[in-house]
């Protein structure tokens, strides 16, 4: 069903066309009139918007394993476009800085400060180099020090900082490899680290260029085997890419002592993952090998899983998986053979893994899906078949021999079940603890609280003879989210609520200080109070502030925020967060132009879709992504109006995507107009990624909005033929759904002005930059008012300061011209 309302279009739009050269900016525009040339430079928006972008970033607190000390980790502002323009390799789904053998898309930290929890004594970490680029901060077992990496122009160094002195020092030169993303890890002694070192000759790597004349064609072949794959970015493309992949991913595993001694462990390999055993005697090593693939990323390449001793000798081979191109696309599908291989966190050296019993195909009928296995050191016996799951295995929270919590899930009915199991007695049947839908936020029991054990591993925090665990959850409710801390007796299946957030604050427990749960550390905030950490005594009710972070955007203090509720045409309950400027009164001031920013979600249950999953008391972090920014420019904002797409029973949500989307948007527009806050003819719709897809669809299938903002979206679903978002069916199984949902196929219906923005180096599966480029061409071909902005070097999200300011400038110009200053219906839009 299509719902359209009559709106008068502006006919006097004067088109603008811009083009750029080099790596500065690519801007494409179109109009009915001849294009005018703009300066090919980054633009800057209103100063109020610049000030928000340049707001200093708030530190985060990482509390140590003994809970005596924490480390405040600070990061600098947004990087420059020059930093993003540095050389980058795109190999098999990875993005690498070749000069430093590290990931290229990270946001490093630049300052560390130790803070004692009891008296708030502060010890800034000294000895750091100028302008450090700190990542991978890791507490040692025992909490005496932290390790971290520092990226320089010559490579990545491994550093350590001592809590007692606050002094930091390097343990290695720029020889650490982070290309696979694996951070250095502590052994149980708290004095030895394990990490990957660069094994390639840097001069050879720098000189390795692609041949100008190919040796032959690039050939791929498939002989009768079904190998469906979702749409991935940055895949290997040719034999030269394979050579580069091996050169930059091959590393040498090594032990590093606190005195700087480095000892190689085993031969160089494409180390994909490593994890020392809790007792520090073994290393679980996962490495990639040939043959590689041009259709799936590196995490699907052949994978060898072994256990090494500290001398690098292989003591046990867990599995050697072939190339994993054949995993079905149905959600819940998995590889065959051992997967999710981990150490049992509460034992010295015991392996645990799952194996599929249904061939790994979630689309196949099966009474049993997975089985869990245990194998203790010295790994020379047969693994113990521990537990069989009817659904797909979802991991284990370890506690002790008599208690672990295992989870399973299933996509089709959004089901989660958790079980109490006894690792020390695998012959004892599991006990069902919880069975619920993850869509049902009101009945979400929360996640178990963990604590560091003597090995430095996270295990369940238990009390009452180790039968009671603790759970922290969001506490969704009809009045909004109210985070909680519960004690759950796993023996009697009884829950005791220890804490629940109270209005007008949003207060979430983050750490339980002891097994009696008398004291907890919370993160407390309100509409006008930035989140800070507090120590709360649950016995005497006292509250002590631990951090004192300042308000990052004082210019937005006093804004009015309201969680509003309204109904869709079919009676479904919907919610949104309404923002208006400080002191605004709709009766006295009249309706405002509005930006509505949304992201649709799929549900299998209408009851769950109507639940409230937000809080009116949360502090709003306002950055380039937030519609609240535009309150500084005289707009109202409606953030997160729920756009549920429901498919109950055998129906799939997307079978009626357009109808439900338009109905939800109509309800939101009617609500804000009925409140006198928004002018029906001056509302813009916007979104990012799947929200951009939504915005384009609403412009194609309704007349509710004066203009649209679509950032980094996908618009033609035939370019993602093996599924997208929550759609499991392929294009050939549901062609009418793919066609109807694609705004590209309805480009001729879009009459409202739309601003398309896309990162030119988008790495997100499915949202190739060409999605926006081709959508722009389709709209232009039908005479639409459209502007396409391609941001150089930006990925799915945007990072460079110049990019962000230009994005806001483009948005400001678009909103002011087509929303704030839109003519009244029936007018010509001309003034005398």
Query: What pLDDT was estimated at residue 501?
Result: 98
Alpha-carbon separation of residue 281 from 150, 237, 311, 342, 486 (angstroms): 28, 40, 10, 15, 37
Q: What is the pLDDT of residue 470?
A: 97
Averaged pLDDT score across all residues of the chain = 92
Mean pLDDT confidence for 107-124: 96
Residue position matching structure tokens 């009244």: 824
Cβ–Cβ < 8 Å for 30, 786: yes
Bridge-based pairing of strands 185-186 and 192-198 is antiparallel
For residue 712, pLDDT beyond 70: yes
689 a catalytic residue: yes
Instruction: For residue 650, indicate whether it is catalytic.
Output: no
Range 753-771 average pLDDT: 96
Q: Give CA–CA dist 726/395, Å, rounded.
A: 22
Catalytic one of 321, 701, 758, 796? 796
Say yes or no to pLDDT of 711 above 90: yes
**CB-CB contact of 495 with 514 (8 Å):** no
379 - beta bridge partners? none
Of the pLDDT bands very low, low, confident and very high (cuts 50, 70, 90), residue 37 is very low
Percentage of the residues of the chain whose pLDDT score is greater than 70: 94
pLDDT, mean of residues 707-723: 96
CB 276 within 8 A of CB 187: yes
Q: 520 near 513, Cβ under 8 Å?
A: yes
Residue 4 clears pLDDT 90, i.e. is over it: no
| Tokens representing residue 683 in the block | 């509302």
Q: How confident is the model at residue 215 (pLDDT cuts 50, 70, 90)?
A: confident
Question: What element of type H or E holds 28?
Answer: strand 26-29
The stretch 430-442 carries a mean pLDDT of 96
Average pLDDT on 309-319 reads: 98
Strand pairing class (592-597; 678-688)? parallel
The region, left, alpha or beta by phi > 0 then psi within -120 to 50, assigned to residue 251 is beta
Paired tokens of 99: 């000069």
What are the residue ranges of helices labelled H in 533-590? 586-589
Contact 488, 495 (CB under 8 A): yes
| Confidence (pLDDT) at 515 | 83
Q: Which of 17-31, 37-51, 69-83, 449-463 has the lowest mean pLDDT?
A: 17-31
Does pLDDT of 188 surpass 60? yes
CA distances from 49 to 271, 468, 622, 734 (A): 44, 50, 10, 44
Per-residue model confidence (pLDDT) at position 26: 41
| Predicted confidence (pLDDT) at residue 19 exceeds the cutoff of 80 | no
pLDDT at 205: 65
Residue 449 pLDDT > 50, yes or no? yes
Residues 6+ apart with CB under 8 A from 236: 91, 92, 242, 245, 292, 293, 294
Distance CA 441, CA 285 (A): 38
762 is catalytic: yes
Q: Which residues pair with 709 in a beta bridge?
A: 686, 755
Structure token pair of residue 457: 């591993």
Asked if residue 46 lies in contact with residue 805, where contact means CB atoms within 8 angstroms, the answer is no
Whether the predicted pLDDT of 228 surpasses 90 = no
Alpha-carbon distance of 780 to 756, in angstroms, equals 12
Tokens of 618: 């949360």
Q: Which ranges constitute the DSSP H helices of 363-522?
A: none
How distant, in Å, are the alpha carbons of 495, 523, 649, 663 from that of 643? 34, 29, 19, 9
The two structure tokens encoding residue 483: 């985070």
Query: In the chain, what percentage of residues exceed pLDDT 90?
Result: 88
Examine the pLDDT at 360 and tell me if it is beyond 60.
Answer: yes
503, two tokens: 């209005």
The arithmetic mean of pLDDT across residues 151-177, rounded, is 97
Q: What share of the chain is helix, strand, coil (3-state, %, to 5)?
A: 15, 35, 50
SS (H, E, C) 37-100: ECCCCCCCCCHHHHHHHCCCCCCEEEECCCCCEEEEEECCCCCCHHHHCCCCEEECCEEEECCC
> Quick check: 747 and 779 in contact, CB under 8 A?
yes
Q: Which of 663, 689, 763, 795 is catalytic?
A: 689
User: Which of 220-234, 559-573, 652-666 has the least mean pLDDT?
Assistant: 220-234
- Count of helices and strands (H, E) across the chain: 11, 49
State whether residue 777 is helix, strand or coil: helix
Q: Which of 501, 746, 762, 806 is catalytic?
A: 762
598-635 tens-digit pLDDT: 999 999 999 999 999 999 999 999 999 999 999 999 99
Let me know the angle formed at the C-alpha of 19 by 16 and 24, rounded to the nearest 5 degrees. 130
Give phi and psi for 78, each to the nearest 5: -65, 145
């Amino acid at each position: 069903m299509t719902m359209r309302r009559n709106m008068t279009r502006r006919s006097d739009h004067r088109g603008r066309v811009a083009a750029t050269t080099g790596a500065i900016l690519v801007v494409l525009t179109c109009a009915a009139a001849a294009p005018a040339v703009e300066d090919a430079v980054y633009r800057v928006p209103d100063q109020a918007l610049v000030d928000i972008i340049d707001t200093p970033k708030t530190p985060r607190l990482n509390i140590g394993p003994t809970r005596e000390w924490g480390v405040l980790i600070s990061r600098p502002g947004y990087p420059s476009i020059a930093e993003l323009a540095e050389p980058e390799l795109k190999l098999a789904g990875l993005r690498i800085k070749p000069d430093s053998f590290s990931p290229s898309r990270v946001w490093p930290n630049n300052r560390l400060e130790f803070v004692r929890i009891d008296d708030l004594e502060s010890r800034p970490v000294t000895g750091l180099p100028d302008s450090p680029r700190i990542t991978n901060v890791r507490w040692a077992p025992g909490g005496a020090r932290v390790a971290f990496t520092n990226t320089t122009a010559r490579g990545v160094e491994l550093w350590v900082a001592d809590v007692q002195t606050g002094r930091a020092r390097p343990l290695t030169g720029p020889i650490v490899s982070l290309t696979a993303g694996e951070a250095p890890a502590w052994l149980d002694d708290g004095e030895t680290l394990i990490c990957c070192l660069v094994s390639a000759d840097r001069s050879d790597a720098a000189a390795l260029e692609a041949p100008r004349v190919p040796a032959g064609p690039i050939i791929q072949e498939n002989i009768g085997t079904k190998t469906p794959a979702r749409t991935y970015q940055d895949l290997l493309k040719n034999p030269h890419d394979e050579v580069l992949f091996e050169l930059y991913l091959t590393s040498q595993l090594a032990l590093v002592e606190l005195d700087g001694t480095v000892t190689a462990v085993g031969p160089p390999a494409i180390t994909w993952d490593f994890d020392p055993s809790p007792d520090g005697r073994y290393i679980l090593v996962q490495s990639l090998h040939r043959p590689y693939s041009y259709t799936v990323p590196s995490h699907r390449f052949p994978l060898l899983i072994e256990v090494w001793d500290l001398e690098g000798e292989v003591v046990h081979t867990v599995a050697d998986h072939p190339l994993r191109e054949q995993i079905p696309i149905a959600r819940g599908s998995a590889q065959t053979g051992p997967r999710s291989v981990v150490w049992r966190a509460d034992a010295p050296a015991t392996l645990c893994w799952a194996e599929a019993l249904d061939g790994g195909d979630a689309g196949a009928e099966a009474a049993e899906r997975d089985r869990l296995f245990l194998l203790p050191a010295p790994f020379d016996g047969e693994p113990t078949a521990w537990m069989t799951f009817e659904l797909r295995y979802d991991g284990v929270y370890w506690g002790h021999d008599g208690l672990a919590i295992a989870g399973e899930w299933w996509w089709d009915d959004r089901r989660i079940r958790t079980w109490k199991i006894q690792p020390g007695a695998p012959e004892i049947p599991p006990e069902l603890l919880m069975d619920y839908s993850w869509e049902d936020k009101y009945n979400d029991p929360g996640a178990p609280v963990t604590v560091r054990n003597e090995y430095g591993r996270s295990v369940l925090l238990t009390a009452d003879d180790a039968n009671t665990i603790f759970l922290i959850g969001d506490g969704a409710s009809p009045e909004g989210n109210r985070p909680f801390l519960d004690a759950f007796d796993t023996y009697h299946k009884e829950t005791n609520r220890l804490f629940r957030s109270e209005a007008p604050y949003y207060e979430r427990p983050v750490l339980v200080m002891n097994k009696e749960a008398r004291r907890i550390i919370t993160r407390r905030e309100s509409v006008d109070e930035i989140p800070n950490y507090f120590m709360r005594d649950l016995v005497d009710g006292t509250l002590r502030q631990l951090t004192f972070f300042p308000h990052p955007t004082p210019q937005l203090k006093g804004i009015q925020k309201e969680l509003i509720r309204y109904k869709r045409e079919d009676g479904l309950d919907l919610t949104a967060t309404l923002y208006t400027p400080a002191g605004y009164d709709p009766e006295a001031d009249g309706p405002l132009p509005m930006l509505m920013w949304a992201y649709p979600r799929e549900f299998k249950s209408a009851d769950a879709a109507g639940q409230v999953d937000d809080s009116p008391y949360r502090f709003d972090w306002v950055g380039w992504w937030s519609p609240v920014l535009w309150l500084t420019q005289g707009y109202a904002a409606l953030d997160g109006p729920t756009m549920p797409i429901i498919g109950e029973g055998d129906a799939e949500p997307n079978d009626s995507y357009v109808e439900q989307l338009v109905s939800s948007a109509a309800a939101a527009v009617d609500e804000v107009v009925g409140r006198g806050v928004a002018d029906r003819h001056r509302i813009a719709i916007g979104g990012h990624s799947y929200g951009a897809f939504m915005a384009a669809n609403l412009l194609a299938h309704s007349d509710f909005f004066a203009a649209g903002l679509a950032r980094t979206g996908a618009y033609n679903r035939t370019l993602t033929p093996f599924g997208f978002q929550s759609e499991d069916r392929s294009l050939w199984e549901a062609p009418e759904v793919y066609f109807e949902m694609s705004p590209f196929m309805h480009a001729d219906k879009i009459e409202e002005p739309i601003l398309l923005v896309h990162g030119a180096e988008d790495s997100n599966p499915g949202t190739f930059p060409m999605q926006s480029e081709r959508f722009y061409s389709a709209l232009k071909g039908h005479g639409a008012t459209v502007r396409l902005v391609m941001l150089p070097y930006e990925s799915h999200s945007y990072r460079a300061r110049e990019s962000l300011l230009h994005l806001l400038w483009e948005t400001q110009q678009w909103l002011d011209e087509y929303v704030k200053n839109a003519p009244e219906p029936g007018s010509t839009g001309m003034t005398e």
